Amino acid sequence: MTEVFSKSGGSNYTSWAGIEAIAMDIDGTLTTQGLLTTEVVSALHALRSQGLKLCLVTGRSSGWTQALASYLPVDAAIAENGGVVFLGRESGPLLRNSMSGNFEAATTSNLREPLAQMFSKLLESNPGLKITEDNVFRLSDFTFHSKGLSAVELSAIKNQVEASGLAFAWSTIHAHIMPHGQEKGTALEWLLQKWGIKTGPATTTLTIGDSPNDAPLFAESRFPHSAGVANVVKYREVMSHFPSIVSTQPEGSGLVEIVNILMNIRGGAL
């Protein structure tokens, strides 16, 4: 079995034998240097062949996510750090209702106006911030590039955004201004309930990621079965929750490494 390190110090993954669903980040987790490899796509097909439910959980825009979910062998996708859910290839975007926490058919709204206003305020003290190219395809958040910003700068921006009553998250590529309460874990819990899969400590879901915005997916009380690819280690000091195990390989190679462990436990192979 591939060697990985564990918070408990051991290499016992027998609890993974009962896994029913896998939720995976995209950038830096499925991708390698920004691209999907044949090995990763093959791994997704292998997981589907085992009857597992697969879900993409990403900070990418609704536009990007719907396209990826249509071409990859997955059952659902969560976009914009938990703001939008796609329930399948034929599904339109379901938008998070910040009042009820439910996801409903997306309609034209002014949801992003206060987010854009917050970005304008950030520009006053951070004039170098650049809006992401996919911002036009977003329904529930407002994004700018995180590359080039230090952890100290991102922390200061986070404090400013949260002081205004909004939420903030960042990954290896983007920083997100969002409505209060929007995060990957809450959206995944909603989806699991739709699928009839337990949530909380008894969940049979494996979560996989690589960045600070994946931290909700690593909260042990919510998702006790979690894994990170090796590149997550550099963010350990700034993450509120850290995965239970970490692969020896980064990015897509790490994802394949984790899938191999799961397949070996289940008696399958890539």
- The structure's pTM equals 0.92
Does pLDDT of 75 surpass 50? yes
> Across the chain, what does the average pLDDT equal?
92
* Predicted local confidence at residue 10, as pLDDT: 47
Whether 237 contacts 231, CB under 8 Å: no
Residue 270, in any domain of the structure? no
Whether 85 contacts 78, CB under 8 Å: yes
Residue 3, in any domain of the structure? no
The DSSP element (H or E) to which 116 belongs, if any, is helix 113-125
Q: Residue 26 maps to which CATH number?
A: 3.40.50.1000
* Predicted local confidence at residue 5, as pLDDT: 56
pLDDT tens digits, 151-209: 999 999 999 999 999 999 999 899 999 999 999 999 999 999 999 999 999 999 999 99
With bands split at pLDDT 50, 70 and 90, how would you rate the model's confidence at 9? very low
> Could you please report the per-residue DSSP string of 121-176?
HHHHH-TT--B-TTGGG-SS-EEEE-TT--HHHHHHHHHHHHHTT-EEEE-SSEEE
With bands split at pLDDT 50, 70 and 90, how would you rate the model's confidence at 4? low
Whether 50 contacts 266, CB under 8 Å: yes
* Predicted local confidence at residue 266, as pLDDT: 85
Q: How many CB atoms lie within 10 A of CB 201?
A: 10
By the 10 Å C-beta count (0-12 exposed, 13-18 middle, 19+ buried), 36 is classed as: middle
* Predicted local confidence at residue 11, as pLDDT: 54
Q: What is d(CA 155, CA 257) in angstroms, rounded to the nearest whole number?
A: 32
Give the pair of three-digit tokens for residue 17.
Answer: 């034998």
Q: What is d(CA 197, CA 19) in angstroms, rounded to the nearest whole number?
A: 10
Residue 1, in any domain of the structure? no
Helix, strand or coil for residue 102?
A: coil
The DSSP element (H or E) to which 260 belongs, if any, is helix 251-266
* Predicted local confidence at residue 2, as pLDDT: 36
Per DSSP, which regions of the chain are E strands?
A: 5-6, 21-24, 31-32, 35-36, 53-57, 76-79, 84-86, 94-96, 103-105, 142-145, 167-170, 174-178, 205-209, 225-228, 245-246
With bands split at pLDDT 50, 70 and 90, how would you rate the model's confidence at 269? low
Q: How many CB atoms lie within 10 A of CB 124?
A: 7
Residue 130, in any domain of the structure? yes
The total domain count for the chain is 1
* Predicted local confidence at residue 6, as pLDDT: 52
Residue 11, in any domain of the structure? no
* Predicted local confidence at residue 14, as pLDDT: 77
Query: What domain range is 90 assigned to?
Result: 17-265
* Predicted local confidence at residue 109, as pLDDT: 64
Compare 63 and 111 and report the one with higher pLDDT. Answer: 63
Q: What is the mean pLDDT of residues 118-127?
A: 96
Q: What is the mean pLDDT of residues 88-93?
A: 86
Residue 2, in any domain of the structure? no
Residue 7, in any domain of the structure? no
CB within 8 Å of 223: residues ≥ 6 apart: 185, 188, 203, 205, 207, 217
| C-alpha dihedral sign at 161, 187, 90, 95 | negative
Whether 260 contacts 270, CB under 8 Å: yes
* Predicted local confidence at residue 8, as pLDDT: 45
Residue 101, in any domain of the structure? yes
Q: Which of 7-11, 41-45, 181-185, 221-225 has the lowest mean pLDDT?
A: 7-11
Q: What is the mean pLDDT of residues 43-63?
A: 97
